[in-house]
Amino acid sequence: MNKLLNTFKVLLLISFILPFIGCQEKRESFSSMSVAKWENDIDYLFQNLERKHINLYHSSSKDTVRRNISNLVNNLSNLSDDAVFISLSKIIRSLDDSHTGIWALPKFYDSYPIEFFVFDDSEIRVLHAPKNHPELLGGKLISIDNTMLNEVIKELLLIIQCADNWHSERERLASYLKYSKILKHTGIADKESTANFQFLLENGTQKTVKLEALPNTEYDSYLGNALHLESPFQYEKSLIGTSYLWYQPNDELKTSYIHFSSYPNALQMKRFGIAISKDIIRRGIKNIIIDVRDNSGGDFYVGLELVKLLSFLDQIIWENGVYVLTSRKTYSAGMSNTAHFKQLLNAKIIGEPTGANPNDYQDAQTFQLPNSKLRVQFSRRYYRFQDTVSKGILPDIYIKPNWEDFKKGIDSNLEWVLDDIKFNENKTNLQQGI
């Protein structure tokens, strides 16, 4: 009996220990990788990039990149799968290409339930707080697990993908700040599942909050209140369109507002353009506002369908009645169509510089690595949308985001446009003696 009891105790102890051993050794994001498979994937990755990219080494020397690849391959046996992915991200980032990047499967991107906005590198604030920590709304980030903000930014900028200038880099940075595995494997955070975020709150006090990482399926349910900018134009009040492409007129100001954050197919865009053109003519609309602040890309040839149809409207005040609202999120085809609006519709650009540069590598295609299933994107074309070189399409009226307006819900870009429309209308009325 004692022998049987001792055997039972041993089995019980083993059953208790095994789960912990498994947790330590399992590869959470890449379930069946080995050194040989990583070598195969890395070789496949760069063979394909060199063959398919229009000019892969336009910003980094081939020798430097190849040396970094060799160093990674030689060190594979010492790295976890997640660490290999982070290393590959750094190498791809070093190519400095706006449409070339590498991403893991969605399950890699466990996130802390918090969303940031980068006003500048010393002012990163919470715009969407965790449900159980509403006091963090508006708080300025100070550190993560005692890694100070300047070091956090330095490390993350080495691995963000598909960024073209300061504005798109900071847009990507805001997302990377919440990815738990990335914070861990860049040395910013101590653990993969939890991290201590330190903030300077709006009331002037400092607070450190321990957050737990969540999978994508649970992320939204743990977020609380968010800050929103107020606008007289809302999808619920729109006359024509869908959530990413819609139209709302303002009869009092003889103004049409077009929200354009994503792309339908060409036929759908043509139908949309015809429908709004009819309404614009019927109402005697004279001003057009095109909002591409959330347009991160698609097929800019589809956007040209909208340009073409709007250009037929003779009643529009083409000298100064067309406005385009831009932001750091205006990227890829969104940037391209911004250039078209300016060139072909004489639009005035209001807001931030676009996140994508007007003269750069674009037109992305993708492939997947055979073993790790990492998704890779690369540029196929080089486009030139203006004669001068600049970091983003520079706005005619640069309105820098600021916290004071954000916390009051003031849409500074839109307010400037509406004020300008009223000013021009009053000026015209005075000239006509009305």
119-145 residue pLDDT tens: 999 999 999 999 999 999 999 999 999
The contacts of residue 346 (CB under 8 Å, 6+ apart) are 318, 319, 322
Mean pLDDT for the chain?
Answer: 92
Strand pairing partners for 101? 377
Task: Kindly list the distances between the CA atom of residue 272 and the CA atoms of 93, 187, 260, 309, 336, in Å, as whole numbers in the listed order.
Answer: 38, 49, 11, 10, 20
167, 354 contact by CB (below 8 A): yes
- Strands (DSSP E) found in 21-155: 101-103, 115-120, 123-130, 140-144, 147-148
Q: How confident is residue 42, by pLDDT bands cut at 50, 70 and 90?
A: very high
Instruction: Tell me which of 434 and 6 has the higher pLDDT.
Output: 434
28, 82 contact by CB (below 8 A): yes
Instruction: Tell me which of 1 and 176 has the higher pLDDT.
Output: 176
Q: How confident is residue 18, by pLDDT bands cut at 50, 70 and 90?
A: very low
59-93 residue pLDDT tens: 999 999 999 999 999 999 999 999 999 999 999 99
| Pairing assessment for the beta strands 123-130 and 223-226 based on DSSP bridges | antiparallel
Task: Kindly list the distances between the CA atom of residue 299 and the CA atoms of 103, 262, 335, 397, in Å, as whole numbers in the listed order.
Answer: 22, 9, 11, 26
221-280 residue pLDDT tens: 999 988 889 999 999 999 999 999 999 999 999 999 999 999 999 999 999 999 999 999
Q: How confident is residue 17, by pLDDT bands cut at 50, 70 and 90?
A: very low
Q: How confident is residue 425, by pLDDT bands cut at 50, 70 and 90?
A: confident
| pLDDT at residue 24 in the model | 30
Task: Kindly list the distances between the CA atom of residue 75 and the CA atoms of 92, 124, 125, 228, in Å, as whole numbers in the listed order.
Answer: 18, 35, 38, 47
Q: How confident is residue 29, by pLDDT bands cut at 50, 70 and 90?
A: low
246, 234 contact by CB (below 8 A): no
Q: How confident is residue 432, by pLDDT bands cut at 50, 70 and 90?
A: confident
Scan for tokens 């330590």, then name that residue: 24
What structural domains does the chain harbor?
A: 33-105+363-381 (3.30.750.44), 110-226 (2.30.42.10), 235-356+392-431 (3.90.226.10)
State how far Cα 410 lies from the chain centre: 22
Q: How many CB atoms sit inside 10 A of residue 402's CB?
A: 13
Backbone angles phi, psi at 369, to 5 degrees: -75, 140
Name which of 166, 152, 206, 392 is nearest 292 in CA terms: 392
350, 320 contact by CB (below 8 A): no
| pLDDT at residue 2 in the model | 37
390-407 residue pLDDT tens: 999 999 999 999 999 999
The contacts of residue 171 (CB under 8 Å, 6+ apart) are 118, 163, 328, 329, 355
Q: How many CB atoms sit inside 10 A of residue 278's CB?
A: 11
353, 164 contact by CB (below 8 A): no
Name which of 320, 296, 292 is nearest 306 in CA terms: 292
Q: Which amino acid is at 204?
A: G
Q: Does the pLDDT of residue 14 top 90, yes or no?
A: no
299-328 residue pLDDT tens: 999 999 999 999 999 999 999 999 999 999
Name which of 218, 225, 194 is nearest 132 in CA terms: 225
- For the entire predicted model, the pTM comes to 0.90
Backbone angles phi, psi at 36, to 5 degrees: -60, -40
